[in-house]
């Protein structure tokens, strides 16, 4: 660690010159868009301005710079927001000097990188943060390759554009071939202050949800489902202090969704030559937004997830959780434009760009789908079809649930229901839910065999609002490693954590306790192999991120389970991952929905 005495301008002359030329290019159309958003991407023929490792200097500033053509005050990194692409090489020792020119402390976390804890960049967990005017030098050996990103881990700074792509070129041949690559960084920008957004979430449930069900919807439902069912469902959602349209808590009503820093109108364009294979490195660097990504007219072959190679999967659409990355290959043959379309999960907006053989082209923008309703499966379907589990818990007769005597929900046991903030679902016995006959065989110690998906997982489903019959959609079960990961030990123990929350009070937590309420860290024993079981007791998706160690997602792929740094857990779902606790020290473990993390869905994992 080194600290500069004076708040110096940290750019070298070389960088200034480089920045200048990038700016020259950008001045035509790109404004302050980062240089790596160069339409020609990266290939041997068209090198571009990038911060190449191993020595990189980054200056963090708050500055006036337009976003989507409107006046804004984002946080910039070396003059752009989002920040520059940092390109490292597997096997080198990276030295990243970060100078804080803000008036408050800042930090950079290298998302998905395996590195010493003091270089992980989480203030209060692994280092002190970077005070205003100071320079912190991150030094770590680069021991992996692939598509990652970096972002602030201080307060809500990430929402202001304090993020950028991080790519590590592999030391050995990667298990796929391509001619040109493009980075697609997806973010959600708001002209509101992040603190205001957080305040609004705290004080007004559904503040940004303008798609609440209306009286018209009610009558449409009555026509479809009958009055009794409709009323019963409504009453149920009301009792849970949720709306069935709580798909996202911050929506397109405040967000402008950006692709590489550009709004859909600005239409960031990636160029290709027909017949070339393009590698698209897609990063969800947003604060709060799940995206569904597709390129109408092209099949995307997924070749990496969270930077790690996977057996290739051809799909037409995939959902990308916050902080996840996917690498896909596309080979457009025609001399025509294709729309890069990333629709927000709640359908309140989209990010959009174009893949084209020439600048200035555009293709049709797909019609946005309607917002989905959270069906009752969100309430803990565990297995994906019905509510039998919940009914068991509440001693309700399943048949009666759908019966006409339930008008208004009056026959339901309200004492049970009312107590049901999301934490209330914790007590459910998940083991009973999938039905005994479907239970996978267990080992002698009562644990499931390695790689087997948990009963209660829905890893073969893409999630709410996507119809897999419409087009081929990636699901977690599709992800398979190319070879087994090094640690083949079965887990020595299981650690179960519940994702909990109360939407009305905007409280989010693990096991019902906010970070401010817990007394100590979660302990992993050094070098132990453990199974982390995540049970989502809430009715929203949560992208769960473990720092410092991989999570090998037990998705049924046996010894070829994929490893990830961020796991999306669907509402009511129970999933597991194997972890090798080889990284001594304290690490952050949290929901990557920025405001959920800030609200308390955060823990420290201590490996000792």
The DSSP secondary structure of 347-392, one letter per residue, reads: SS-EEEEEEESSTT---PPPPPPPPPPP-GGGGT-SSSS--HHHHH
The whole-angstrom separation of Cα 498 and Cα 3 is 40
How many alpha carbons fall within 13 Å on the CB side of residue 121? 26
The whole-angstrom separation of Cα 140 and Cα 168 is 13
329 binds other proteins (CB under 8 A): yes
471 binds other proteins (CB under 8 A): no
- CB-based contacts of 47: which residues, under 8 Å, 6+ apart? none
| From 170-178, 187-195, 216-224, 288-296, span contacting other proteins (CB under 8 A) | 170-178
Select 300 or 356, whichever has its Cβ closest to other proteins: 300
Q: Phi/psi zone of residue 221: left (φ > 0), alpha (ψ -120 to 50 degrees), beta?
A: alpha
Select 273 or 398, whichever has its Cβ closest to other proteins: 273
Size of the site for other proteins (CB under 8 A): 22
Select 364 or 482, whichever has its Cβ closest to other proteins: 482
The whole-angstrom separation of Cα 606 and Cα 158 is 25
Give CA torsion, residues 295, 296, 298, 304, to 10 deg: 30
- CB-based contacts of 460: which residues, under 8 Å, 6+ apart? 475, 476, 477
Provide the minimum distance between the beta carbon of 178 and other proteins in the complex, in angstroms, as a whole number: 8
Strand 551-553 and strand 574-580: the pairing is antiparallel
| From 20-28, 172-180, 363-371, 517-525, span contacting other proteins (CB under 8 A) | 172-180
Select 111 or 458, whichever has its Cβ closest to other proteins: 458
Question: Among residue numbers 556 through 585, which ones bind other proteins (CB under 8 A)?
Answer: 556-557
Select 166 or 310, whichever has its Cβ closest to other proteins: 310
The DSSP secondary structure of 548-600, one letter per residue, reads: SS-EEE-SS-GGG--EESEEEE-TT-EEEEEEE----EEEEEEESSHHHHHHT
Select 18 or 281, whichever has its Cβ closest to other proteins: 281
| From 23-31, 190-198, 296-304, 518-526, span contacting other proteins (CB under 8 A) | 296-304
Select 92 or 169, whichever has its Cβ closest to other proteins: 169
| From 57-65, 206-214, 297-305, 343-351, span contacting other proteins (CB under 8 A) | 297-305
Provide the minimum distance between the beta carbon of 130 and other proteins in the complex, in angstroms, as a whole number: 41
483 binds other proteins (CB under 8 A): yes
Provide the minimum distance between the beta carbon of 577 and other proteins in the complex, in angstroms, as a whole number: 19
List 331, 394, 426, 432, residue binding other proteins (CB under 8 A): 331
482 binds other proteins (CB under 8 A): yes
Select 338 or 508, whichever has its Cβ closest to other proteins: 338
Select 476 or 595, whichever has its Cβ closest to other proteins: 476
394 binds other proteins (CB under 8 A): no
Tokens 């009286």 belong to 215
553 binds other proteins (CB under 8 A): no
440 binds other proteins (CB under 8 A): no
Long-range contacts of 431-439 (CB under 8 A, 24+ apart): 431/455, 432/389, 432/392, 433/380, 433/382, 433/383, 433/388, 433/389, 434/382, 434/383, 435/383, 438/383
List 5, 13, 14, 173, residue binding other proteins (CB under 8 A): 173
List 48, 299, 394, 432, residue binding other proteins (CB under 8 A): 299
**Per-residue CA distances from 126 to 42, 208, 413, 547, 588 (Å):** 34, 34, 47, 11, 8
312 binds other proteins (CB under 8 A): yes
Provide the minimum distance between the beta carbon of 438 and other proteins in the complex, in angstroms, as a whole number: 16
Provide the minimum distance between the beta carbon of 172 and other proteins in the complex, in angstroms, as a whole number: 11
Other Cβ atoms within 10 Å of 468 Cβ, number: 15
Buried b (16+ CB within 10 A) or exposed e, 335-354: eebbbbbbbbbbbbbbbbbb
The whole-angstrom separation of Cα 556 and Cα 561 is 7
List 301, 388, 394, 426, residue binding other proteins (CB under 8 A): 301
The whole-angstrom separation of Cα 499 and Cα 573 is 10
Q: Where are the alpha helices (DSSP H) in 204-273?
A: 215-225, 227-239
Q: At what angle do helices 215-225 and 227-239 cross, to 10 degrees?
A: 130
Select 8 or 482, whichever has its Cβ closest to other proteins: 482
* Contact indicator for 306, 353 with CB cutoff of 8 Å: no
| From 67-75, 301-309, 422-430, 580-588, span contacting other proteins (CB under 8 A) | 301-309
Select 310 or 428, whichever has its Cβ closest to other proteins: 310
Provide the minimum distance between the beta carbon of 481 and other proteins in the complex, in angstroms, as a whole number: 9
Select 329 or 593, whichever has its Cβ closest to other proteins: 329
DSSP state, residue 33: -
436 binds other proteins (CB under 8 A): no
Tokens 């001594």 belong to 584
Provide the minimum distance between the beta carbon of 175 and other proteins in the complex, in angstroms, as a whole number: 5
Handedness of CA 209, 418, 571, 546 (dihedral sign): positive
- Site pattern 256..285 for other proteins (x: CB under 8 A): ---------------------x--------
177 binds other proteins (CB under 8 A): yes
| From 50-58, 190-198, 249-257, 295-303, span contacting other proteins (CB under 8 A) | 295-303
List 32, 163, 186, 313, residue binding other proteins (CB under 8 A): 313
Residues that bind other proteins (CB under 8 A): 173, 175-178, 277, 299, 301-303, 311-314, 329, 331, 472, 477, 482-483, 556-557
């Amino acid at each position: 660690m080194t600290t500069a005495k004076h708040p110096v301008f940290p750019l070298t002359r070389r960088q200034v010159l480089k920045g200048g030329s990038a700016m020259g290019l950008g001045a035509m159309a790109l404004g302050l868009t980062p240089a790596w958003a160069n339409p020609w991407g990266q290939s041997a023929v068209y090198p571009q301005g990038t911060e190449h490792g191993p020595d990189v200097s980054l200056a963090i500033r708050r500055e006036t710079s337009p976003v989507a053509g409107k006046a804004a005050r984002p946080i910039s990194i070396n003059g752009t927001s989002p920040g520059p692409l940092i390109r490292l090489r597997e096997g080198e020792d990276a030295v990243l000097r970060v100078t804080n020119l803000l008036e408050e402390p800042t930090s950079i976390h290298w998302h998905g990188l395996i590195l010493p804890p003091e270089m992980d960049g989480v203030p209060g967990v692994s280092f002190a943060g970077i005070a205003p005017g100071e320079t912190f030098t991150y030094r770590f050996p680069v021991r992996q390759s692939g598509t990652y990103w970096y972002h602030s881990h201080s307060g809500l700074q990430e929402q202001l554009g304090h993020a950028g792509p991080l790519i590590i070129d592999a030391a050995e041949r990667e298990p796929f071939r391509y001619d040109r690559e493009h980075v697609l960084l997806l973010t959600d920008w708001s002209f509101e202050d992040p603190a205001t957004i957080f305040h609004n979430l705290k004080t007004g449930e559904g503040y940004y949800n303008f798609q609440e069900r209306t009286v018209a919807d009610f009558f449409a439902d009555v026509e479809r489902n009958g009055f009794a069912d409709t009323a019963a469902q409504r009453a149920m959602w009301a009792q849970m202090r949720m709306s069935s349209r709580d798909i996202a808590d911050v929506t397109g009503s405040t967000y402008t969704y950006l692709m590489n820093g550009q709004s859909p109108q600005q239409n960031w364009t990636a160029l290709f030559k027909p017949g070339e294979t393009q590698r698209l490195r897609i990063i969800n660097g947003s604060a709060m937004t799940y995206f569904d990504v597709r390129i109408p007219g092209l099949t995307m072959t997924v070749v990496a997830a969270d930077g790690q190679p996977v057996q290739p999967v051809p799909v037409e659409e995939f959902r990308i959780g916050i902080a996840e990355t996917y690498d896909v290959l596309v080979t457009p043959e025609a001399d025509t434009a294709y729309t890069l379309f990333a629709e927000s999960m709640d359908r309140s907006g989209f990010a959009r760009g174009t893949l084209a053989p020439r600048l200035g082209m555009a293709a049709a923008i797909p019609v946005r789908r309607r917002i989905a309703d959270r069906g009752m499966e969100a309430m803990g379907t565990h297995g994906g079809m019905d509510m039998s589990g919940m009914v068991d818990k509440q001693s309700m007769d399943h048949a009666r649930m759908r019966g006409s005597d339930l008008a208004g929900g009056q026959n339901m046991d309200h004492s049970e229901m009312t107590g049901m903030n999301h934490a209330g679902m914790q007590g459910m016995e998940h083991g009973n839910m999938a039905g005994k006959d479907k239970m996978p065989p267990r080992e002698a110690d009562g644990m499931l065999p390695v790689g087997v998906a948990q009963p209660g997982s829905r890893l073969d489903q893409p999630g709410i609002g996507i119809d897999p019959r419409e087009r081929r959609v990636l699901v977690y079960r599709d992800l398979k490693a190319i070879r087994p990961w090094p640690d083949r030990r079965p887990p020595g123990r299981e650690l179960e954590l519940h994702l909990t929350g109360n939407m009305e009070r905007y409280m989010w937590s693990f096991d019902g306790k906010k970070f401010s309420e817990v007394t100590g860290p979660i302990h992993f024993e050094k070098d132990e192999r453990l199974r982390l079981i995540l049970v989502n007791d809430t009715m929203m998706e949560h992208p769960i991120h473990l720092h410092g160690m991989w999570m090998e997602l037990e998705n049924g792929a046996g010894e070829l389970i994929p490893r990830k740094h961020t796991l999306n857990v669907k509402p009511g779902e129970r999933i597991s991952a194997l972890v090798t606790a080889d990284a001594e020290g304290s690490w952050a473990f949290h929901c990557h929905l920025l405001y959920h993390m800030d609200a308390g869905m955060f823990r420290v994992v201590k490996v000792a």
